[in-house]
Amino acid sequence: MKFFQKLIQRATLNTLDEMANDEKHRFMRDNPLLKDLGEEAYLFLLKRVAKRSYVRDELVFKQDNLGVCCFFVRQGSVEIYFESEEKNKTVYTIKKAGALFGEISAIHKTYRAASAKALENDTELFVLSSFDLEDLQKQYPSDYLKILQGITHTILDVLDETSRKLRLAEKANEDLTKRLG
């Protein structure tokens, strides 16, 4: 078995060497979410990453639709926004090249809490689905844990940022009340 394992390892490294100039490989290897993965698990996921192109104002996903993917912005920018029933739009954030979004759906298929649309022409996204991660969990459980940790950190960062914004809003609200009062 050790002989075969070495064979697989060598084949994986050879494939990655051959892919040295591949744009998907160069982009994904540097991504914080995937950079700690073992070579085999990384190649396993890389083969499953799909590339999508969007034009300006094209929807990536719509709020309330079932989400099964997370997206990495390769090029361009994506607006994440919420639309109320009265059609009032609140922009949460703008994701630029290198950013990850829609990550909750990648670990737990759930209805989207916000919509996402491309802000530029030629916006390119790399997509990883929850099914790919389920396959990774079966094949490389320890590497799946690393991805899970990475996604958890991203979610925590978003929560921290949201809390910070909320505190600032509260403080501004208090100041305004004092000034008016």
Check: CB of residue 118 under 8 Å from CB of residue 74: no
Q: How many CA atoms lie within 13 A of 159 on its CB side?
A: 7
Counted residue by residue, the chain has a size of 181
Helix residue spans in the chain (DSSP H): 2-18, 23-29, 39-46, 103-107, 130-139, 141-180
Closer residue to other proteins in complex, CB, 11/168: 11
Residue 85 as a binder of other proteins (CB under 8 A): the answer is no
Closer residue to other proteins in complex, CB, 82/131: 131
Q: What character string, x for contact with other proteins (CB under 8 A) and - otherwise, covers 12-51?
A: -----------------------------------xx-xx
Structure tokens at 37: 């993965």
Structure tokens at 9: 């390892």
Selection from 28, 108, 106 nearest residue 74 by Cα: 28
Residue 129 as a binder of other proteins (CB under 8 A): the answer is yes
* Window 142-181: residues binding other proteins (CB under 8 A): none
* Window 44-83: residues binding other proteins (CB under 8 A): 47-48, 50-52, 54, 58-62, 64-69
Residue 121 as a binder of other proteins (CB under 8 A): the answer is no
Q: Which residue ranges make up the site for other proteins (CB under 8 A)?
A: 1-2, 4-5, 7-8, 11, 47-48, 50-52, 54, 58-62, 64-69, 111, 127, 129, 131, 138-139
